[in-house]
């Protein structure tokens, strides 16, 4: 793209838009040496005001969660719980009673919690943005200031902010939001996930975004990860061409397949039954990943079999006989649960997480499997059920026995650990299918925390070592005639989708918004070209070289329409 100034970041999706900047309201500044009330009466009033502010913020977030639904509702609900956390409020109250000003007490208490979350890493580290959002909202209420975040939009705009919490994102007037640009965050953060779910062009980690001025025209291109300030006519024309092309692709339906008719099922990733209901009219062949941990997060006790069965039944009914792959509880590491996760693990990402919870809480697994089987019986559905974080043949066999014991017919496991990929043929002797989680597979292959933005280059699914492991798993499936899916984010990359099809992957699961581009790319290449793409990429020595080798074999029209570079 051309223009007077080009800012660069990481794009989410393939869309492009032109529109005026709408700046988010900044967080209120806190005077770090402000003294609190000197008398007991003043401190009591400050304590009451703080309690009311936290309660009001929590209630407001809950209302937004109820209105949002799906993944957004999950994130907002978890943020509301932070505002209602009695320990956090207690810490603030203690500071006020010790002589601090109310807003300073909120700021300092949240800072302590944020440090703890950051040190814990993983899921908790990702929630620091949400925790700070609670702080900013509470302080704004204490000072009777406008709520931080995006104001009411008078016209369709590109929302620009230093960062956006899930609460900010969920509060957006979607009919007026053209795109999102944030200076911080990352491609795995909540803003990026929600933007992807909503199909909003988004660019994150944009250095210099905070200098953009309200009303300035910008062109946001998620495919190239660029933000052009003051776009010229040529740039505007290219954006319109892309918008028109993507809109046309979205109208196409039908099963995923290569140009010569080789089937590659195109599926959706979901987190709730409401997400499933929204797929009723979507051009997807089913669900390739139902993340059931959404049911468990933020609770002090596990959901009952009745509660779980009701949710699974709603999802199965909504899909009306289409394929539904349900992943059993993936907790621990970056998704701790109060009622089962061990505390004090030095490296929880390598600890008791995912299927390994069966070592300490087998009843939890049995209850979930029984609920899934019950939902299948009630609806007549036939869910495929898989366990996460399986590393050995013994674990695969144990899970298969547990699932089949309660009546689950289609049993599989996730391939996220290099050992499972290398021994995939043996694993497939015990189960009916495997699904490759490329996000975690890259993390464990490259020994890199997948939530650490500055190491994102190491986590590229184009890393040759990761490609070799994906190929090993796919080849094992082809050898024994069993399905091999991919449900990591790499499935949403049209170029990677071609490579995966060439390696023998039988299904690709992704955000529904990503399906049209992947369908288009597959339909323009026959299977033999896909195979050549796989060979060329695996012959490369580095991740950039691997993608370049693959891209060189992609049809020029596909490259142009999807802005693949």
DSSP letter at 360 equals T
Q: Which long-range contacts (CB under 8 A, 24 or more apart) does 101-105 make?
A: 101/31, 101/34, 101/35, 101/36, 101/46, 102/36, 102/46, 102/49, 102/50, 102/142, 103/28, 103/30, 103/31, 103/34, 103/139, 103/142, 103/143, 104/30, 104/31, 104/32, 104/34, 104/36, 105/36, 105/50
Place of tokens 């300073």: 104
Place of tokens 């975004």: 209
Residues 6+ apart with CB under 8 A from 550: 462, 495, 496, 498, 499, 533, 536, 537
Q: Which two tokens stand for residue 34?
A: 């402000």
Evaluate whether 327 touches 289 at the Cβ level (below 8 Å): yes
The CA distance from 315 to 479, in Å, is 33
Reply yes or no on whether 525 is catalytic: no
Q: How far is CA 251 from the centre of its chain?
A: 25
Q: Which two tokens stand for residue 197?
A: 């779910």
**How many CA atoms lie less than 13 Å away from 516 in the CB half-sphere?**
17
- The single residue of 202, 487, 525, 530 carrying the catalytic annotation is 487
Residues 6+ apart with CB under 8 A from 175: 156
Task: Determine how many CB atoms are found less than 10 A away from the CB of residue 539.
Answer: 12
The CA distance from 549 to 51, in Å, is 59
DSSP letter at 329 equals P
The CA distance from 507 to 519, in Å, is 12
The CA distance from 343 to 332, in Å, is 10
Question: What are the two backbone dihedrals, phi and then psi, of residue 422, each rounded to the nearest 5 degrees?
Answer: -70, -30
- The single residue of 8, 25, 190, 525 carrying the catalytic annotation is 190
**Known catalytic residues?**
190, 487
């Amino acid at each position: 793209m051309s223009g007077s100034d080009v800012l660069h970041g990481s794009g989410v999706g393939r869309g492009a838009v032109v529109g005026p900047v709408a700046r988010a309201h900044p967080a209120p500044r806190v005077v770090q040496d402000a003294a609190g009330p000197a008398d007991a009466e003043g401190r009591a009033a400050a304590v009451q005001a703080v309690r009311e502010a936290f309660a009001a913020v929590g209630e407001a977030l809950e209302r937004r969660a109820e209105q949002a639904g799906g993944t957004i509702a999950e994130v907002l609900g978890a943020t509301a719980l932070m505002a209602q956390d009695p320990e956090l409020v207690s810490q603030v109250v203690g500071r006020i009673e010790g002589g601090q000003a109310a807003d300073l007490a909120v700021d300092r208490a949240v800072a302590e919690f944020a440090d703890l979350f950051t040190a814990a890493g993983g899921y908790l580290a990702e929630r620091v943005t949400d925790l700070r959002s609670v702080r900013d909202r509470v302080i704004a209420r204490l000072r009777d200031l406008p709520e931080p975040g995006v104001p009411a939009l008078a016209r369709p705009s590109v929302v620009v902010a230093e960062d956006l919490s899930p609460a900010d994102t969920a509060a957006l007037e979607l009919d007026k939001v053209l795109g999102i640009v944030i200076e911080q965050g990352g491609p795995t953060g909540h803003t990026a996930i929600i933007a992807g779910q909503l199909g909003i062009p988004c660019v994150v980690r944009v250095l210099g975004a905070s200098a953009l001025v309200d009303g300035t025209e910008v062109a946001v291109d998620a495919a190239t990860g660029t933000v052009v300030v003051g776009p010229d006519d040529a740039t505007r024309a290219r954006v319109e061409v892309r918008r028109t092309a993507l809109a046309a692709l979205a109208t196409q339906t039908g099963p995923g397949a290569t140009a010569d008719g080789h089937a590659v099922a195109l599926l959706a990733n979901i987190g709730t039954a409401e997400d499933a209901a929204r797929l009723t009219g979507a051009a997807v062949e089913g669900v390739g990943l139902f993340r059931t941990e959404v049911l468990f997060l933020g609770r002090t006790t596990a959901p009952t079999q009745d509660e779980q069965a009701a949710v699974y039944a709603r999802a199965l009914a909504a899909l009306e006989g289409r394929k539904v792959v349900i992943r059993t509880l993936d907790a621990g590491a970056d998704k701790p649960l109060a009622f089962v996760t061990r505390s004090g693990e030095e490296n929880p990402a390598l600890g008791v997480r995912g299927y390994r919870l069966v070592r300490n809480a087998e009843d939890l697994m049995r209850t979930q499997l029984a609920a899934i089987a019950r939902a299948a019986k009630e609806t007549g559905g036939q869910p495929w059920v898989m366990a996460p974080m399986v590393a050995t043949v013994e674990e695969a066999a144990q899970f298969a026995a547990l699932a089949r014991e309660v009546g689950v017919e289609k049993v599989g496991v996730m391939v996220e650990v290099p050992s499972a990929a290398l021994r995939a043929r043996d694993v497939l002797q015990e189960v009916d299918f495997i699904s490759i989680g490329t996000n975690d597979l890259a993390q464990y292959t490259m020994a890199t925390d997948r939530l650490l933005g500055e190491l994102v280059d190491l986590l590229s699914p184009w890393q040759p070592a990761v490609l070799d492991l994906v190929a090993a798993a796919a080849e094992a499936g082809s050898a024994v005639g069993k399905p091999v899916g991919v449900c990591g984010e790499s499935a949403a990359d049209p170029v990677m989708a071609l490579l995966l099809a060439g390696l023998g992957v039988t299904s690709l699961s992704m955000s529904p918004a990503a399906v049209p581009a992947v369908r288009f790319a597959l339909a323009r290449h026959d299977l033999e070209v896909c195979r050549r793409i796989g060979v060329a990429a695996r012959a490369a020595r580095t991740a950039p070289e691997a993608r370049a080798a693959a891209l060189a074999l992609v049809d020029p029209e596909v490259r142009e329409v999807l802005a693949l570079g």
